[in-house]
Amino acid sequence: MLLSLFQWCYNTWTGAGIRGSTWLFPFIEAIHLLGLVMIGGTVLLVDLRLTGIVLQRQRVEDLARGARPWLIGSIITMLVTGVLLMESEALRCYYSPAFWMKMIFLGLAIVFTFGIRQRVALGEIPTAPFWTKAVGFVSIILWSGVGIGGRGIAFF
């Protein structure tokens, strides 16, 4: 069932168009990479503050509020470019363990980020210092898993 979904993705006009073009895949991939860097920056900045490693004198809310539009914007950029890249090599992705590892981490990271991490960082949930630190570390680990899995798709 899942395989037929990937087959359908592979045959979409966008997937076929990207496969047939010399420039499109690298160009979309470069934008995908820029999105990754922006997510990396926003996640690290706020999570390092949550863990208490940097900028202890600044309010977490100030950093989280400033980072929010860039976080949401880069996640949307990543999803759009990511879907396009996946369509163009959908069948390879289906058989790639790295792709599935990435998808699991991505699902967990998005649920955790918007379900817990953003609320803690924006001060919507009062949290004890130990749990604030834990939220920061978990967020860094989940997003690192997404990045490492993504890089791995090219090899595994």
Q: Taking CB under 8 A as the rule, does residue 76 contact other proteins?
A: no
d(CA 30, CA 125): 37
Q: Which residues contact 136 (CB under 8 A, 6 or more apart)?
A: 46, 47, 48, 49, 50, 51, 52
Nearer to other proteins, 5 or 148 (CB): 148
Nearer to other proteins, 6 or 109 (CB): 109
Query: Residue 6 in contact with residue 94, Cβ under 8 Å?
Result: yes
- Torsion sign across C-alpha atoms 15, 17, 21, 27: negative
| Piece of the chain touching other proteins by CB under 8 A; list 6-14, 33-41, 119-127, 130-138 | 33-41
Q: What's at 97, amino acid-wise? A: P
Choose which of 12, 14, 19, 55 interacts with other proteins (CB under 8 A). Answer: 55
Query: Residue 123 in contact with residue 60, Cβ under 8 Å?
Result: yes
| Piece of the chain touching other proteins by CB under 8 A; list 9-17, 60-68, 103-111, 130-138 | 60-68
What residue ranges bind other proteins (CB under 8 A)? 22, 26, 29-30, 33-34, 36-45, 48, 54-55, 57-59, 62-63, 66-67, 69-70, 144, 147-148, 151-152, 155
